[in-house]
Structure 1
Amino acid sequence: MQTEPFRDVQEFDDGYLEITWAKRRKILDDKEEFYPDDALVVRDALIWLFRTRNIADPDDMEYEDLSVMLGRYPIVSQEEDLFGLVTEERLIALMTKIDTLLQEEVHEVSFYADDFHGKGTAFGETFNMHELTAAHRTFPHDTLVRVTNLENHQSVVVRINDRGPYIDGRDMDLSFAAFRQIADHSRGVIHARFERLGNKNLAGLCGDGETRYQKRITKAYRFHRGVPHTFPLGQTLALRANKWFVIRSIIYPDGMIENVQDWVPPEDFFSITPSMKGEYRFRFSTPFRHSREMRMNVIDCPKAQN
């Protein structure tokens, strides 16, 4: 019987949770084997980056669509060898480029209200025009997005709970309440920028969702609470385990690598207070050098959500 997510990726392997998450969201291909020891090439790295950013429907982000996506987001040159190997530094550089382009991208935004109030959304919810929600064609359900009106620089944080809009050139439909926070409803359409803040259900801190933690370094070495998938900016994360563990290194969202090499006994803890948004990558190990990487997305959590 096939192992979830792949036959050659076991539950206690490095990256198991991340690989499972990626396959379930169609970021990784639906194959039976992952080949974790194979080198990463540019073509695969680009496809995975585009899929993680939800720039299009998953069916429109296959290898044959790569030239179209690179035309829209030229993060590599046309002369780039797509089958060349990707180093960790190169991958971080590609991530930075695509995220910069996405932050600078201008979107056309409108709203929907009375005609849809009380009706069902694509995700089985009941649309309420008075809540701070939005419809987007590809962002996952419950994604939190900060939408900023480029004309007046007013912003609102919304939760994705519907699909759409289905008008050419339109990128998002806000609820009536959300649109009114950043523009007069008589405008009808505005130009805005998007900033994805994370997933409401994974965060468990921007709403009533359940927080998920990465607890195991190995089967025998466990954190009492663990590393959350999502964590609020400026708060302190304290990690304590049932046995001695080692925090080997931390890779920060800006690509800086800190070689910590800090040994932590069971009666003590390791703490960190994130000062920048983005993905943090921790490398933990046991005294016997069994290691595991855990990732944490730090977000600027809004004070209130609907």
Structure 2
Amino acid sequence: MRRALTVLFALLIAMPCAAEGWVPRRDGFLLIWESIRRPAEEQITPEFDDVQLGDLGFTEISYACERHILDDAENFRPNDPLLLSDALVWLYRTRNVDELDAMEEGDLPVLLARYPLVEPDADLSARLSRDMLFQMIRSLDAMLAEEIHEVSFYADDFHGNGTAFGETFDMNALTAAHRTFPPDTLVRVINQDNGLTVTVRVNDRGPYVEGRDMDLSLAAFEEVADRSNGVIRARFQRLGDQSLVDMCTQEAQRFQKRITRDVRFHRGIPHVWQVGKKLSLGANRFFVVRGVTYPDGTHMRTQDWVGTDERFHFTPAIAGTYIFLVGTADGRRREMRMIVQQCGGQQ
């Protein structure tokens, strides 16, 4: 499978420029970022001189630089062509395949030996098209989903202690410790020997045993194996941050992000949401929520203007379809629908 994907990408590299041209660095990074379903914390201070507050991708790019996913530099060069070397580094870093200090451009030969996305003699200065980048994303995620990991558990001796992220460890909750996955990442763990699965939330760092890749809480481990097994072989399916995953279906949330071409929500209005779950809307430009129509037909007129450092908050109390009427400072409007449900599909 790896060989087939590598050959396919090698063919794509050899193709002439795609119809839409080479993907700019900003667009390429945002495609990579959105594919991991990880939220970006709001930023106020620019990390790059040429990506300022209000610019498309400001939040994601600034946050990624702060987290050392992007290298610190004076300029990001958002409109320059995306080069293969940068795309590879960003892909490996966003997938947390190793420690950050082991994923520099100089480490690419080692990383490519583990995850061969291109041929060893590929030109790392080659410009990428959108199609090429999509193929790389799909190829790496497919490889990671097939990896076999050694997984164990931790329980009584740690119950009630603090985790690396400031929580109290509860061996009866469905949580896990991982060395590189961000906190609150949801991971589906699949026991390679019996096919049983459990979805856990990363809330701790570890394990610190050579060759071991994850420690599950006792409750999570017992979902897929008997405690007496001690260690299992498992595959991981990284679902994304818990805030961007539908907890009813454990599938990725899909969001409506654009009011217009130039006005874009940071996260957006989801197609499907849950009763009682708070929704917060912010954007890269001023926007207005002109009104919300409720499932029973009631229309709430709001005319709430929201600045770039402000948020519009909404928590649905009943199931059904909600319609948001949003607009921009120049008078453009758009309707966005959101289906709200109870977990289990009860409407």
Task: For 1:227 and 1:77, locate their aligned partners in 2 and report how far apart those are by CA, in whole Å.
Answer: 48
| Pairwise CA distance, 1:59 | 1.2
Task: For 2:101 and 2:161, locate their aligned partners in 1 and report how far apart those are by CA, in whole Å.
Answer: 28
Contact 1:57 1:138 in 2 (8 A): yes
| Pairwise CA distance, 1:79 | 1.8
Which digits, 9 at most, give the CA deviation of each residue in 1:270-299, with x for residues without a partner? 4488xxxxxxxxxxxxxxxxxxxxxxxxxx
**From 165, 171, 178, the counterpart of 1:123:** 165
**Largest Rg, 1 or 2:** 2
Aligned to 1:13: 55
**From 143, 146, 162, the counterpart of 2:185:** 143
Which digits, 9 at most, give the CA deviation of each residue in 1:40-82, with x for residues without a partner? 1100000000000011111111111111111110011112100
Aligned to 2:283: 215
Aligned to 1:29: 71
| Pairwise CA distance, 1:30 | 1.9
Aligned to 2:226: 184
Task: For 1:15 and 1:236, locate their aligned partners in 2 and report how far apart those are by CA, in whole Å.
Answer: 30
Task: For 1:68 and 1:127, locate their aligned partners in 2 and report how far apart those are by CA, in whole Å.
Answer: 35
**From 123, 145, 169, the counterpart of 2:211:** 169
Task: For 2:282 and 2:139, locate their aligned partners in 1 and report how far apart those are by CA, in whole Å.
Answer: 29
Task: For 1:197 and 1:18, locate their aligned partners in 2 and report how far apart those are by CA, in whole Å.
Answer: 19
| Pairwise CA distance, 1:38 | 1.7
TM-score, normalised via structure 1 length: 0.72
Contact 1:103 1:194 in 2 (8 A): yes
**From 139, 155, 158, the counterpart of 1:97:** 139
Cα 1:59/1:10, change in 2 over 3 Å? same
Cα 1:227/1:28, change in 2 over 3 Å? farther
**From 81, 86, 89, the counterpart of 1:44:** 86
* Secondary structure at 1:242 match in 2: strand
Aligned to 2:327: 242
Cα 1:209/1:236, change in 2 over 3 Å? closer
Cα 1:124/1:244, change in 2 over 3 Å? closer
* Secondary structure at 2:49 match in 1: coil
Q: Does 1:269 align with 2:311?
A: no
Cα 1:175/1:271, change in 2 over 3 Å? same
* Secondary structure at 2:188 match in 1: strand
**From 141, 151, 154, the counterpart of 1:112:** 154
Cα 1:201/1:49, change in 2 over 3 Å? same
Task: For 1:161 and 1:109, locate their aligned partners in 2 and report how far apart those are by CA, in whole Å.
Answer: 16
Which digits, 9 at most, give the CA deviation of each residue in 1:109-149, with x for residues without a partner? 11011111111211122211111110000000111111111
Task: For 2:279 and 2:238, locate their aligned partners in 1 and report how far apart those are by CA, in whole Å.
Answer: 18
Ranges in structure 1 where 5+ consecutive residues have no aligned partner: 229-234, 246-263, 274-301
Task: For 1:143 and 1:95, locate their aligned partners in 2 and report how far apart those are by CA, in whole Å.
Answer: 19
Letter in 1 for 2:176: A
Task: For 1:168 and 1:39, locate their aligned partners in 2 and report how far apart those are by CA, in whole Å.
Answer: 41
Q: Which has the higher helix share?
A: 2
- Tell me whether 190-199 or 132-141 shows the greater mean CA deviation: 190-199
* Secondary structure at 1:240 match in 2: strand
TM-score, normalised via structure 2 length: 0.64
Q: Does 1:200 align with 2:242?
A: yes
| Pairwise CA distance, 1:91 | 0.6
Contact 1:201 1:210 in 2 (8 A): no
Task: For 1:48 and 1:87, locate their aligned partners in 2 and report how far apart those are by CA, in whole Å.
Answer: 16
Cα 1:40/1:53, change in 2 over 3 Å? same
Task: For 1:50 and 1:212, locate their aligned partners in 2 and report how far apart those are by CA, in whole Å.
Answer: 30
For these two proteins, the number of residue pairs brought into alignment is 248
Task: For 2:140 and 2:282, locate their aligned partners in 1 and report how far apart those are by CA, in whole Å.
Answer: 27
| Pairwise CA distance, 1:13 | 1.3
Q: Does 1:4 align with 2:46?
A: yes
* Secondary structure at 2:158 match in 1: coil
Identity across the alignment (%): 48
**From 50, 60, 66, the counterpart of 2:102:** 60
* Secondary structure at 1:115 match in 2: helix
- Tell me whether 44-53 or 5-14 shows the greater mean CA deviation: 5-14
Task: For 2:312 and 2:63, locate their aligned partners in 1 and report how far apart those are by CA, in whole Å.
Answer: 16
Ranges in structure 2 where 5+ consecutive residues have no aligned partner: 1-43, 249-273, 293-310, 314-319
Cα 1:92/1:11, change in 2 over 3 Å? same
Task: For 1:173 and 1:109, locate their aligned partners in 2 and report how far apart those are by CA, in whole Å.
Answer: 6
